[in-house]
Amino acid sequence: MDINNLMRNKKSWDEVASRFFGRNPLPEYGPMAPLEDELNLLGNVTNWKVLDIGCGSGHSLKYMDERQASELWGIDLSTKQLEAAAKTLSNSHAPVQLFESAMEVNPGLPNNYFDLVYSIYAIGWTTDLQKTFRNVHQYLKPGGIFVFSWEHPFYRLVSQKDNHFAMKISYHQEGPYDHISWQQPAIMQQYKISTYVNYLVETGFQIERLIEDIAISPEDLKRQENRWYSIAKANMIPPTFIIKCKKI
């Protein structure tokens, strides 16, 4: 676990939290990815205890509350994000527990407790993917479900100019890299799909689904093509991947 990078990311997210209020929550899994309504990865969560890793502004937990989950738990590194989540969830039917913590650290969560742990477009912010997966495995009941989404590792490696695409970074190059989209410095992580899969298997998960499909919404069609997640590029390379697995 890299404390310096975690503190850098915390400062960065506190700076930009308001820009990401309600961005891509469930039933969305990420840019141009199929919705939960289509995929049905979670199924019926009624009376389930659920944990959101990187809960952000709390809108995915609100989705869980609307589907009658019995307990809502969330972890996020950012103070500002958790303040927003507390307001989003202030009228929830289910009890809410929010923790300001890196996902690499257990801030006091119970083991063998949760029916579902999920992470929507947040897992790439960890500085220790293996430790994060081990934590999730410990939190889940036997047979519990873990679902996460993140930017597809191929997507940032390919540059686009007009209708031309070029591989600018080796797919084999893993590890931390500078996130340059914001003025405040931040560090993200690059891993191959095989690394995610192998770490999950080594931790004790059984992988049930790997999804790399795209789904172009009417909102996507209205947006400018020069955005980071462009339709032209998405038609060549999926922006998002999703994995569903089970604790065994």
The whole-angstrom separation of Cα 62 and Cα 45 is: 13
43 Rama sector, left if φ>0, alpha if ψ -120 to 50, beta otherwise? left
Q: For the whole model, what pTM was predicted?
A: 0.94
pLDDT category at 77 given cuts 50, 70, 90 is: very high
The answer, yes or no, to whether residue 1 has pLDDT greater than 80, is no
Is 68 a residue whose pLDDT tops 70? yes
Least confident of 21-30, 136-145, 202-211: 21-30
Domains and CATH numbers, the chain: 3-247 (3.40.50.150)
